[in-house]
Amino acid sequence: MKSKAFHLSTYAWGKLKRESGVLSLFLAVSFVGLHSQGVSTKAGSRLLATADSLYFKNEWQNAKNKYLAFLKDSPEHKLVWLRLGYCNHNLSEYDDAIRDYNKALENNPPAMMKITAESRLARVYAIQNKNDLAFVHLDSAIRNGYGNLGELDTLVDFSGLKKDQRFASFYARAYDVAYPCHADSKAREFDFWVGEWNVYSNVNKNLVGYSRIEKISGDCAILENYKSVQTSYNGKSINNYDGTKGCWEQMWVGSSGVELPGPDVQRFVDGHYKDSAMRFTFETTVQGKKAIGNFIFYNLGPDKVRQYQETSIDGGQTYQVGYDLLYLRRK
pLDDT value at position 9? 38
Same domain (yes/no): 24, 172: yes
Cβ density class 295-326: b for 16+ within 10 Å, e for less: bbbbbeeeeebebbbbbebeeeeebeeeeebb
Domain boundaries, position 117:
10-178
Position 4 confidence tier, pLDDT thresholds 50, 70, 90: very low
Same domain (yes/no): 199, 317: yes
pTM: 0.80
Residue 79 lies in a domain: yes
Residue 119 lies in a domain: yes
pLDDT above 70 coverage of the chain, percent: 88
Residue 151 lies in a domain: yes
Same domain (yes/no): 252, 313: yes
Same domain (yes/no): 219, 154: no
Helices within the chain (DSSP H only): 10-17, 22-32, 42-56, 60-71, 78-90, 94-105, 111-127, 131-143, 149-154, 167-178
- Give me the CATH number covering residue 146: 1.25.40.10
Same domain (yes/no): 174, 197: no
pLDDT value at position 261? 72
- Give me the CATH number covering residue 235: 2.40.128
* Domain C-terminal end among 124, 143, 178: 178
Using CB atoms within 10 A of its CB, is residue 274 exposed (0-12), middle (13-18) or buried (19+)?
Answer: exposed
User: In this model, does residue 126 exceed pLDDT 90?
Assistant: yes
Give the mean pLDDT of 114-133.
Answer: 98
Same domain (yes/no): 239, 146: no
Position 40 confidence tier, pLDDT thresholds 50, 70, 90: low
The pLDDT tens digits for 60-110 are 999 999 999 999 999 999 999 999 999 999 999 999 999 999 999 998 999
Residue 5 lies in a domain: no
Give the mean pLDDT of 190-207.
Answer: 97
- Tally of domains within the chain: 2
Name the nearest CA neighbour of 85 among 49, 47, 123, 53.
123
Whole-angstrom Cα distance, residue 181 to residue 186?
8
Same domain (yes/no): 166, 194: no
Residue 3 lies in a domain: no
* Domain C-terminal end among 178, 196, 225: 178
Q: Any idea which of 3-17, 174-188, 288-302 has the lowest mean pLDDT?
A: 3-17
pLDDT value at position 268? 98
* Domain C-terminal end among 143, 178, 213: 178
Same domain (yes/no): 17, 103: yes
Residue 194 lies in a domain: yes
Same domain (yes/no): 30, 142: yes
Residue 2 lies in a domain: no
Same domain (yes/no): 234, 141: no
Same domain (yes/no): 258, 241: yes
